[in-house]
Chain A
Amino acid sequence: DGGITQSPKYLFRKEGQNVTLSCEQNLNHDAMYWYRQDPGQGLRLIYYSQIVNDFQKGDIAEGYSVSREKKESFPLTVTSAQKNPTAFYLCASSPRGGPPPEAFFGQGTRLTVV
């Protein structure tokens, strides 16, 4: 079945360590997105990519980095520079660039930094 796979579902890291969240899609979508969700807030865009080898910062990119070497994969690295990394992270993809006309979401990764 086609879809978006995020792994792991739960992730624990010590403060000061970088951590990479995986996002893979087999939908042949061009665009991929990373969102952060905090309690009581709407999803906020971290980074997005509309084509391989290209990506743009979203609203809250500081302390994060991404790569898009393959169409299927859009990993997110939470660096030690991110001041409040504990959050729920969601990856999404859509068939083409521009406002996601139809967005598909992964199951999310809950990151806890201790």
Chain B
Amino acid sequence: KNEVEQSPQNLTAQEGEFITINCSYSVGISALHWLQQHPGGGIVSLFMLSSGKKKHGRLIATINIQEKHSSLHITASHPRDSAVYICAVPFNTDKLIFGTGTRLQVFP
């Protein structure tokens, strides 16, 4: 069993739809990262959160520490949101453990 699991693995949506990507983890954490990987491969950090909720534009990330679960929501999705979304949690003192990612495709 992976220590960080994401669902779904693949997701397709029509432009404008509300998107939810889930991340469950089994290791203890101090914070959780949500990352975005575009088709070219580069990764951008979207959020780092340790409690509650964060919002940036159309992106909202929530975390429930007790349930070891986080969600990433995209409101009013757009084709440019098409990417792989990855969650990652710190483990021990010096590394991140990554989920396998959720591939999102948003069609016009």
* Interface, chain A (partner B; CB < 8 A): 33, 35, 40-45, 48, 50, 56, 58, 88, 90, 92, 97-108, 110
Contacts and interface: CB of A to CB of B under 8 A. Distances in A.
B94 A105 contact: no
Q: Name B's interface SS.
A: strand
B108 interface: no
Contacts, number: 67
A29 B99 CA distance: 25
A102 to B, nearest CB: 6
Nearest to B84: A37
Contacts of A56: 94
B42 A104 contact: no
Interface stretch (B12-20, B43-51, B61-69, B71-79): B43-51
Contacts of B45: 102-105
Contact of A48 (B31, B40, B95, B99): B95
